[in-house]
Amino acid sequence: MPGNDLTVRVGGDSAAGGIVTTGEVFARIAAYAGLEVYTTRTIPAEIKGGHVMFQARVAPTMVWSQGDELDMLIAFDQESLDRYYRLIRPDGILIYNSNDCKPPADNGLKRYALPLNELAKSINFQRGRNIITIGAMVKLFGLSFETATAVVEKQLGRKKEMLEQNLLALKTGFEFVEQKVTKTAPYHLSPVQGAMQQQRLVISGNQALSMGAIAAQCRFYAGYPITPASDIMEFLAAEFPKVGGTLIQAEDEIAALGMAMGGSYSGARAMTATSGPGLSLMTELLGHATMTEIPVVVVDVQRGGPSTGLPTKVSQGDLRISVFGAHDDAPRIVVAPVSVEDNFYQIINAFNLAEKYQTPVIFLSDQDMSVRVQTIPPFDLSRVHLEPRLVWNPNEDGHGEFQRYAKTASGISPMSLPGMKGGQYVAEGLEHAPDGSPEYTPETHVANMQKRAKKIYSAADEVERWGMYETFGDEDAPIGIVGWGSTIGPVREAVDRARAEGLKVAVFYTKMIFPLPTRLISQFIQKRQTIIVPEMNYTGQFARMIQAEFWREVVSVRKYGGVPFSTREIYEKIKEEHSKLGRS
């Protein structure tokens, strides 16, 4: 095992309950002990039953990916054992429910048999197998039992009678390992010196996004539940009343976007959230928002498709529909965060872009990043700035009648709000004259298409001004990686590994997918002999965008099975491309 860096996977059937709780509570125990955590999970699409996997990586310093190998597997049932046994590193640990699992012949792994069914029965708490397992893990890793008790009280303490049973289950697992298995912990997870004094947040990407939306002064949300975006609506439903916000559960995704547009039309910062199938339904109204120049933020938490596809697994397959999914040319801005923490800052940028440029903004998160629980530093509120909407001021307008779609140098026209005297206008989907009245002449359509495109393409200037990109690595590297979204985590670790071996690599990740920051990307790729573009979709959608925009061949690295990249996969591609350069 590499030092204190531990990757543990928990597997079982959702019908038995508690698999995700096992992982989440353990991750929080480690976090509250001063360690860094990074989690990923897959859950079944069925209402009840089906396999669940939860993986946590725990280390004394920041980690950026799920890890390559399993240091430990905790198998609640035979299916989990059969699926993941081969992924355990040769000197790793297997913890298994000896009542329901029979592992293969011994191959050198450290094995710990836990009779979970019997232990749960002994304390008359059949649902407590997961908490018994957590107690066993706390002992095996040398973590504080007092810290574990505090976390269980915090996470599972809503009902007093249940809390007493959960604490008994925690103690039962801890004492079983202490008395029956080992007196000393095989692994010691120790925080770095002073870590206990450092403030950390332990939250998911959806929670960070929701907090960012509140910080961005979003005060209207309409949505329809869909995995994996539903957590956003649930979080805001609890928090909006505290800040004077309004939330509505709509009858479908079309209605949700329509309501959000109505809220924005009235002057509120408004949003909705969905996933791929819901975004498809919203396409017509997205065009309407472009035509009427109404600010609105649409969050798309991407999942595997097409259709219902893999509703509980990750994908980056919605890039094309986000950028190009429209009838005729209806440009909109597309923003993509790169991490749990970045969800907070980029959703604020998304609202600022929507308000400043009076346009729909699509915010591309993904399933893995949205549900991942991770330790991050407290948000830096000094980085929060709010861009105002350009609102019509009749006292300063010397041109008489209000012209909602007046031609301006920037393409952005002042917008009136309901109730403003003289500010009434027609906001419908027909092509229009400057005052909003329908007008269908070729000259009008050409002028308005240019107006709408001009303001959208000028938004690319904000990438540099607002720091909506990340770059790192060797300035003189012959190999560059260009990407977007959550793949940056394994890329970051792969680059560190490659550079430690003397392989030079540079990285550029943009947080605005459309319009592309062409000047910044062009400057970056001109210095490289090879460009690698990693993404989680079948056709290499971003790679093709880069090739089309810059007339430059790239190495498209694609993963589309519903699980994120590992560090090793990116590292091996870097080595391969360096080897090719060495032979040329």
Numbered ranges of CATH 3.40.50.920 in the chain: 466-583
How many CB atoms neighbour CB 573 within 10 A?
19
At CA 314, angle to CA 348 and CA 45, rounded to 5? 115
What is the structure's pLDDT at 161? 75
What is the structure's pLDDT at 187? 67
Numbered ranges of CATH 3.40.50.970 in the chain: 202-383
Give the dihedral of Cα atoms 134, 139, 141, 147; nearest 10 deg.
70
**Do 114 and 175 touch, CB atoms closer than 8 A?**
no
The amino acid sitting at 564 is P
Give the dihedral of Cα atoms 261, 219, 405, 416; nearest 10 deg.
120
CATH architecture observed for domain 6-197: 3-Layer(aba) Sandwich (3.40)
Is the dihedral angle over the CA atoms 143, 149, 152, 154 positive or is it negative? negative
Residues 6+ away with beta carbon under 8 Å from 369: 205, 314, 337, 339, 340, 343, 485, 486
Q: In this structure, what DSSP letter does residue 422 have?
A: T
What is the structure's pLDDT at 45? 67
- Burial class from Cβ neighbours inside 10 Å (0-12, 13-18, 19+) for residue 524 reads buried
How many CB atoms neighbour CB 450 within 10 A?
11
First to last CA, the chain: 38
Within the chain, what is the greatest distance between any pair of CA atoms? 87
What is the structure's pLDDT at 450? 97
d(CA 56, CA 6): 8
Distances (CA, A) of 335 to 177, 342, 504, 561: 48, 11, 29, 24
Comparing CA positions, the residue from 115, 123, 113, 121 lying closest to residue 182 is: 113
Is CATH 3.40.50.970 the right assignment for the domain spanning 202-383? Answer: yes
Numbered ranges of CATH 3.40.920.10 in the chain: 6-197
Say which CATH topology domain 466-583 has.
Rossmann fold (3.40.50)
- Going residue by residue through the chain, which has 584 residues, state the pLDDT in tens, using 9 for 90 and above: 445 788 999 898 876 667 888 888 888 888 888 888 999 888 776 666 688 888 999 888 888 998 888 988 989 899 999 999 999 988 888 889 999 899 887 777 888 889 999 999 999 998 888 899 899 888 888 888 998 999 999 888 777 778 989 999 999 999 998 888 766 656 677 665 554 456 789 999 999 999 999 999 999 999 999 999 999 999 999 999 999 999 999 999 999 999 999 999 999 999 999 999 999 999 999 999 999 999 999 999 999 999 999 998 999 999 999 999 999 999 999 999 999 999 999 999 999 999 999 999 999 999 999 999 999 999 999 999 999 999 998 887 655 789 999 999 999 999 999 999 999 998 989 999 999 999 999 999 999 999 999 999 999 999 999 999 999 999 999 999 999 999 999 999 999 999 999 999 999 999 999 999 999 999 999 999 999 999 999 999 999 999 999 999 999 999 999 999 999 999 999 999 999 998 76
How many CB atoms neighbour CB 394 within 10 A?
12
d(CA 336, CA 387): 19
At CA 489, angle to CA 488 and CA 493, rounded to 5? 110
What is the structure's pLDDT at 2? 45
Give DSSP secondary structure letters for 266-334: TT-EEEEEE-HHHHHHTHHHHHHHHHHT--EEEEEEE-B-STT-BTTS---TTHHHHHH-SSS----EE
What is the structure's pLDDT at 1? 42
Three-state SS at 148: helix
**Do 226 and 68 touch, CB atoms closer than 8 A?**
no
- Rg (C-alpha) for the chain, rounded Å, is 26
How many CB atoms neighbour CB 381 within 10 A?
8
**Do 454 and 411 touch, CB atoms closer than 8 A?**
yes
**What is the value of pTM for the model shown?**
0.93
What is the structure's pLDDT at 198? 65
Helix (H) or strand (E) holding 578, with range, is: helix 567-583
